[in-house]
Structure formats: structure tokens, C-alpha cells
Amino acid sequence: MTENIHLISSVTCPWVQRAVITMRAKGVSFDVTYINLRDKPDWFLAISPHGKVPVLKIGDEVLFESNAITEYLDETCAPRLHPADPIKRARNRAWTDFLPTFGWGPGLNNLTYCKSRDELPDAIADARLRVERLENAIATERGNDGPYFNGAELSLVDAAYGPFLQRFQISEAVLKTGLLDDFPLVRAWSDALLADEAITGSVPENFAEEFDRNLERRETLAWALMSGAEAAE
């Protein structure tokens, strides 16, 4: 790819990170502009139909939505991260479509941003249902190989889920829910993703600081424990 690639990003957005992981895995050179999603500039709103990041500019062309962006990158930049087999590729796409159910709403994200100990049991129960589905999916797609979703090679599924597992692990350090204890395949997968430089290096240097501030703004239980406002059990 010879066109200039420019990513419009937000420091803590997991959907943006999905695109960054994909480009890093492919060795794509790109520039980044970070915006404040609580004060979106007019120029950004003019090119982002949904007012969301990521937005990817390829020369004069503009793409939006992380799934569309990563699919475009996989079609135009080697190496391919989707499986060659069409059935397996379709199932991979189905599991990337499951990501909002897994990561957002009453999924892993809800656990990360849980506000109180009273809310924690329900948040854990909801997250367990989604993690269990992934445990079964990994057993089916990967078999006895590893360490990634499909086996030995990083895929678009890994790029999609890695950011959410990374954020969960930050909060899990203080929440200590033990959510992954009963799901050894997901735990091993998470460990492999968070040891991969394509993923760990896909956030800016101030990510940890900004993510902590995000937890604070949302008045989360994880922040209360991190800051000492509530004693850990």
C-alpha cells in the first residue's frame, strides 16, 4: 500500500486499538491524530458519519467503523489475517460480530466499569455467559494448537478481542473476580494476546494514565480500589 494512511483515534478507545493491532501485525506505516471524544472537533464530525472513532483516511478516501476498516486492511495489505478456508473465514467473521455482545453492554466492559460491590455479582454472572461461549469457540476453532484464536497465527479475531481483554485485566488486578479461572482456554488466549507486542504496543504511552482517568470519571469500583477509596477484600 503506497497511499498515506492516517488514523483518527482516541487514546483509550478499544475499537481504534483493533485497527492499530491489525496495521502493526501487517507492518503498515500510518500516522495518528488523537481527539477528545468529549469535545469532538467539527472537522472530525464532518468526516465521521456516526461521530465515532476510528476513522481511517487513505489518501483522499475516508473509512469508518472498526470492522470495515480491518476488513479493508486485510484485503489490501499482506499478510492476510483471515483464514484461507471460506468456512473458517466466515466463522471468524461471525465471532468478530459477537464482539459487541462480549465486550459491551452486559459483557466484559460492564464488569470493567462496574460501580459498586452490589453490582459486581450480576456483572460477573453476565460476563461468565459470554466468556463461556468463547471458551467453546476456541475449543472448536483452535483444537489443541495455539496460542491464538485459530492456532499459531494472529487473526482479526485476536485483534478484535485483545483490547477488551487488556482493559479487563487492568481492572481484574483490583477487582479479583476470578472470572477466567473456570475458562482455561480463554485465560491462555488472553495471556498470549497480552504478551504479544503487536497488541501491547498498540496503545500510546499515556494509555495507562488516561484509562485510569476514564475509570475515575465513570466512578468505577475498580478506580475506588486502585485509589484506596475502598479497601480491597
Q: 10-38 b/e with 16+ CB inside 10 Å = b?
A: bbbbbbbbbbbbbbbbbebebeeebbeee
Distance between CA 60 and CA 32 in Å, rounded?
Answer: 16
Give the torsion through C-alpha atoms of 87, 89, 91, 95, to 10 deg: 180
C-alpha grid cell, residue 125: 454472572
| Known active-site residue 77 | no
Residue 137: count of CB within 10 angstroms of its CB: 19
Catalogue the long-range contacts made by 48-51 (C-beta closer than 8 Å, 24 or more residues apart): 48/8
Q: Are 54 and 7 in contact (CB under 8 A)?
A: yes
From the candidates 7, 11, 13, 156, which is the catalytic residue? 13
State the burial class of residue 170 (Cβ atoms within 10 Å of its Cβ: 0-12, 13-18, 19+).
middle
Q: Which residues are catalytic?
A: 13
